[in-house]
Amino acid sequence: MPLAAATGTHQLVVQTSFLGDTVLTTPLITELAKRGPVNVVVTPASAPLLARNPDINELFVYDKRGADGGLRGFRRLAQQLRAPEPREGAAPAVAYLAQRSVRSGALALAAGYTERVGFEGSAGQTLYSKRVPYREDRHHAERLWRLAFPDRDAGAKVDALDTREVPAPRLYPGDAERAAVDALLGGERDDRELIALAPGSVWATKRWPYYAELAKALATRFRIAIIGGLGDRSEAASIANFSGAQGVVDGTASLSLLASAELIGRVKLMVTNDSAPQHLASAMGTPTVTIFGPTVEDFGFGPLAPHSISLGIDALACRPCHHHGPPHCPLGHWRCMRELGVDAVALAVDEVLSAC
Ligand code: SF4
């Protein structure tokens, strides 16, 4: 439904960060959709994740490093996003800046949104008309959701809420994704439970190095699916070869992001790094064993699905050493990952499964 035809408060959400951030923005979108139509701006990489989201009025793709780069692309998008003319008695159009950049604030300003809500302390905060505390002590899904309550009174009520009031992140795989996963799984009978391993991460130091050994340890009891993108193909092949596991399902080459979410939704459990697949699992309600190396769950990006477990070497004084994960261990030993062994992860797998 085009924005002009919709009724209620007109709202814009700008989220052009990573895939996981986009998933964690869906509770905010759900909340805002109760008030009126929500338009959303995301990157080309993230856009497919939001397909069929019933809370989104219109999705805009901002290819800020490509086709929409530079001032011309910025102006073109601002024109497309143009806020409706204010009408007497009507609530003002509101933009929610889910990432903290100057560019997203400037985009909302250029698009004519007089009310612009973002986090305190953001690089772009001087462009906001309302600022919401960035609660370090809350999960990022909740932090983002809190943007929907920028007024002091509403914020106070939110503080009193049970966190279970926060809508869960959601993704909406459709028929095409279900068919892709059906085709990948094939029709053969396999009595083993299906579990998933997601060995990738954009950040090298966040990739736990023992997925192949773990697959070998679990292969007799479980059928294993490997989740990831094209960049994870060789890792997936190594895992399958080293483990000698029968019937490994390799989703890295053929599945779209949303089809990967569909596959994650069908497995009993997933072992993952602190990376995008974990957030897909949160959105699909699939429990995870999440492995944290240079980052920690306290940053607010842990798993949300019930029965999930987070693992990390808590005794290491150097953890956490980076908000995302450095390209190389600054101390050279990478103990945060190397010392987290297969046995500990396999034990956590059993613990999660026994709780499901
Ligand atoms: S400094 Fe510590 S936490 Fe950071 S990568 Fe190295 S071992 Fe991991």
Mean pLDDT of the chain: 92
Verify whether ligand 1 is closer than 6 Å to residue 334 (CB atom): yes
pLDDT at res. 1? 41
CA of 205 to the centre of ligand 1 (A): 8
* Residue owning the nearest CA to atom 7 of ligand 1: 334
Residue 3 pLDDT more than 60? no
Strand partners, 59: 40
Probe target for ligand 1 pocket from 292, 313, 322, 336, with the most ligand atoms within 8 Å of CB: 336
**Residue 236: exposure state from Cβ atoms within 10 A (0-12, 13-18, ≥19):** buried
Residue 4 pLDDT more than 60? no
Q: Are residues 205 and 151 in the same domain?
A: no
Verify whether ligand 1 is closer than 6 Å to residue 335 (CB atom): yes
CA of 275 to the centre of ligand 1 (A): 17
Q: Which are the contacts of 289, defined by CB distance < 8 A and separation ≥ 6? A: 269, 270, 271, 272, 308, 309, 310, 311, 345, 348, 349, 352
CA of 326 to the centre of ligand 1 (A): 8
Domain boundary among 130, 165, 200: 165
Residue 89 pLDDT more than 80? no
Residue 65 or 98, more confident: 98
Residue 173 lies in a domain: no
Rounded to an integer, the average pLDDT of 62-79 is: 91
pLDDT at res. 161? 66
Q: Are residues 197 and 279 in the same domain?
A: yes
Q: Are residues 119 and 35 in the same domain?
A: yes
Q: Are residues 152 and 262 in the same domain?
A: no
Q: Are residues 188 and 160 in the same domain?
A: no
* Residue owning the nearest CA to atom 2 of ligand 1: 318
Q: Are residues 156 and 224 in the same domain?
A: no
Q: Are residues 211 and 298 in the same domain?
A: yes
Verify whether ligand 1 is closer than 6 Å to residue 293 (CB atom): yes
Could you give the CA distance from residue 261 to residue 2 in angstroms, rounded to a whole number?
27
Could you give the CA distance from residue 277 to residue 275 in angstroms, rounded to a whole number?
6
Backbone angles phi, psi at 224, to 5 degrees: -115, 130
pLDDT at res. 2? 42
Rounded to an integer, the average pLDDT of 148-173 is: 80
Q: Are residues 300 and 347 in the same domain?
A: yes
Q: Are residues 141 and 9 in the same domain?
A: yes
* pLDDT > 90 in the chain, percent: 79
pLDDT at res. 159? 74
pTM for this predicted structure: 0.92
Q: How does DSSP assign 216-255, residue by residue?
A: HHHTTTEEEEE---GGGHHHHHHHHHHH--TT-EE-TTT-
Residue 285 lies in a domain: yes
Band of residue 5 on the pLDDT scale cut at 50, 70, 90: very low
Residue 172 lies in a domain: no
Interval 255-290: pLDDT, tens = 999 999 999 999 999 999 999 999 999 999 999 999
Verify whether ligand 1 is closer than 6 Å to residue 161 (CB atom): no
Verify whether ligand 1 is closer than 6 Å to residue 138 (CB atom): no
Residue 161 lies in a domain: yes
**Domain housing 74:** 3-165
pLDDT at res. 163? 64
Q: Distances from the Cα of 58 to the Cαs of 20, 44, 52, 173, 303, in angstroms?
A: 20, 14, 11, 18, 28
Rounded to an integer, the average pLDDT of 57-85 is: 92
Q: Are residues 123 and 200 in the same domain?
A: no
Residue 142 pLDDT more than 70? yes
Verify whether ligand 1 is closer than 6 Å to residue 331 (CB atom): yes
Verify whether ligand 1 is closer than 6 Å to residue 24 (CB atom): no
CA atoms within 13 A on the CB side of 227: 31
Interval 289-338: pLDDT, tens = 999 999 999 999 999 999 999 999 999 999 999 988 899 999 999 999 99
Q: Are residues 217 and 120 in the same domain?
A: no
Residues in the chain: 356
Rounded to an integer, the average pLDDT of 157-180 is: 86
Q: What is the largest CA-CA distance in the chain?
A: 69
Residue 170 lies in a domain: no
**Number of domains making up the chain:** 2
Residue 15 lies in a domain: yes
Q: Are residues 64 and 99 in the same domain?
A: yes
Residue 171 lies in a domain: no
Could you give the CA distance from residue 268 to residue 218 in angstroms, rounded to a whole number?
13
pLDDT at res. 345? 98
**CATH code where residue 189 lies:** 3.40.50.2000
CA torsion, points 232, 238, 243, 244, in degrees to nearest 10? 120
Residue 26 lies in a domain: yes
Verify whether ligand 1 is closer than 6 Å to residue 336 (CB atom): yes
pLDDT at res. 162? 62
Verify whether ligand 1 is closer than 6 Å to residue 329 (CB atom): yes
Domain boundary among 165, 189, 213: 165
Rounded to an integer, the average pLDDT of 183-202 is: 89
Domain boundary among 165, 196, 219: 165
Are 134 and 143 contacting, i.e. CB atoms less than 8 angstroms apart? yes
